[in-house]
Amino acid sequence: MEEQTRSIVQQSLNALLGNESFLPELQGDMRKTAFTSLNAILSTPNQIHKSFLRVALEGGEVVRIPSYRVHHNDALGPYKGGIRFHETVNEEDVVNLAFLMTLKNALHNVPFGGSKGGISINPKEFSEKELQLICVNYVRYFNNVLGPDKDIPAPDVGSGEREMDWMMAEYKKINPGSQYLGSFTGKSIVNGGSLGRREATGKGVYFSFRYLLHDYVIANEKALATSTNIFAKTALDFMNRPLTVAVQGFGNVGSVTALEASQCKYIHNKVVAVSDRNVTLFNADGLDIPALIDFIAKNQGDLPTSVEQLTEISVHAEIQSREDILTMNVDVLFLAALENQLHDHNKTEVKARIIVEGANAPTTQEADDYLSNKGVIIIPDILANAGGVIVSYLEWLQGRETQFYTEEQVHNQLFDKMKHTLDGILPQYFGDPFPLRQNCYIHSVTRLSTVLYKQGQLY
């Protein structure tokens, strides 16, 4: 996964090296040296902090939990990135996720750098008291490198506002007098969280899809019709027609994305499949998304896994295996679970012509190359799932000013920011042969490189 991100950054730098209008003041050997140092800076994290959290469980056993905080780059502002609670968490993946945060913030012009954290546990195996202890220990272990002007964590897979509230409380306790409201984002509203933060990533994921496939395509229909670009052809094929939709992952991001899709008044979507870590649920006539959201709220986040559970909530669906969703015959596939879901072994089976990455890095390079060559539109993670960090930025601002916005103000600012980014990227995407991911990386790398050069950071 790390290799993939690095190689696209290298390709983006190669494209910029040959572009005379990019940093024209750098010429000859100076230009080559500057680009070599840019590559070194962007492909290496500034610091990797790791530790074993030693936690006494309720039964008396003491466990040692590998945990990480990676600072990738802070050229654009304080480090910012979520903390993942998952048994697969490892150093390499956290480094890559931090790298993606740097690129994401640069792409959307959010004044933060990139970081990421991880705690290698399955949170479902711990009691609430034990989880609180794990959160408290994480803050104690990494206190020196965290803070509202240094590095601001947020939730990620397996964590949410409960964990952020516990962590902020511990931060406040051990840093008296600090601007503690800005130390963590994704907190509960009563603890200084932002209205609209919980839904922000899912809403943003759906918005990126709707804006590209509906608003932008309709506004630029004539230009796209005369273009020879394969992605323009795919977009026009899907314009103004009902679409079948599948959503992999039904947590914070996936459930909100599915709800937005099912309630969209611009595109007629039918959400025919959703999945989670246990199952895929399928109904060709469309699933009752609000009923399923209600169910997960009462069942530790899991979808129904039996006919009895489905009958109890009057939801009609076939139960299939969790992988089935990836190769279903649908128009649009939203990926909102984990990384590496579309890969070399299933890429030829994927039927969706539009893929939207709510999750980080769910498509491997091989799968991306293969699908993009066939004209499949892939809206990449750093473009689609930035809603969380954009509203985290608004939460951080509100915490500093102790002035709070309405939910409508928050979502309007979110959509305005995403629209601005999409308007900056899409003309190039529909005009040149690069996949959207490469366009986004070029955009991010251009901004980061210019800032690093102007800050005198190049060797």
Does position 201 interact with ligand NAD (CB under 6 A)? The reply is: yes
Give the closest residue to 94 by CA, choosing from 139, 153, 53: 153
Q: Is 410 in the site for ligand NAD (CB under 6 A)?
A: no
In the set 192, 249, 399, 435, which binds ligand NAD (CB under 6 A)?
Answer: 249
Q: In sequence order, what E strands does 287-353 have? A: 318-321, 332-335
Instruction: Number of helices (H) and strands (E) in the chain: give both, helices first.
Output: 17, 12
Q: Which of 75, 119, 281, 359 binds ligand NAD (CB under 6 A)?
A: 359
Establish if 135 lies at the interface with ligand NAD (CB under 6 A): no
Q: How far is the C-alpha of 446 from the C-alpha of 141, rounded, in Å?
A: 35
Residue 306 identity: S
- Which residue is listed with tokens 């952020």? 164
Given the rule CB under 6 A, which of 32-40, 345-353, 354-362, 405-413 is the region that contacts ligand NAD?
A: 354-362
Under the binding rule (CB under 6 A), the answer on residue 250 touching ligand NAD is yes
Exactly one of 45, 118, 251, 435 binds ligand NAD (CB under 6 A); that residue is 251
Part of the chain binding ligand NAD (CB under 6 A), chosen from 45-53, 265-273, 335-343, 348-356: 335-343
Is residue 6 a contact residue for ligand NAD (CB under 6 A)? no
Provide the 10 A C-beta neighbour count for residue 433: 11
In 18-90, which residue ranges form alpha helices assigned H by DSSP? 28-42
Q: Which stretch binds ligand NAD (CB under 6 A): 144-152, 260-268, 357-365, 368-376?
A: 357-365
Min separation Cβ 119 and ligand NAD, Å: 13
Q: Which of 385, 421, 444, 449 binds ligand NAD (CB under 6 A)?
A: 385
332: closest CA among 403, 252, 255, 245? 245
Q: Which residues are catalytic?
A: 116
Question: Alpha-carbon distance 431 to 428, whole Å?
Answer: 5
Total binding residues toward ligand NAD, as defined by CB under 6 A: 24
Work out the angle at residue 153's Cα, subtended by the Cα atoms of residues 151 and 158, and round it to the nearest 5 degrees.
155
Which among 23-31, 37-45, 155-163, 408-416 is the span making contact with ligand NAD, rule CB under 6 A?
155-163
Handedness of CA 320, 323, 327, 330 (dihedral sign): positive
199 near ligand NAD (CB under 6 A): no
Q: How far is the CB of 358 from ligand NAD (least distance, A)?
A: 5
- Is 196 or 224 the residue whose CB approaches ligand NAD more closely? 196
Count of residues making up the chain: 459
Q: What is the DSSP string of 171-183?
A: HHHHSTTS-GGGS
User: For ligand NAD, which residue of 81, 193, 380, 388 counts as binding (CB under 6 A)?
Assistant: 388
Residue 300, strand partner residues: none
**Residues 290, 256 contacting (CB under 8 angstroms):** no
Give min distance, CB of 83 to ligand NAD, in A: 10
User: Where along the sequence are the contacts to ligand NAD (CB under 6 A)?
Assistant: 155-158, 201, 248-254, 275-277, 322, 336-338, 358-360, 385, 388
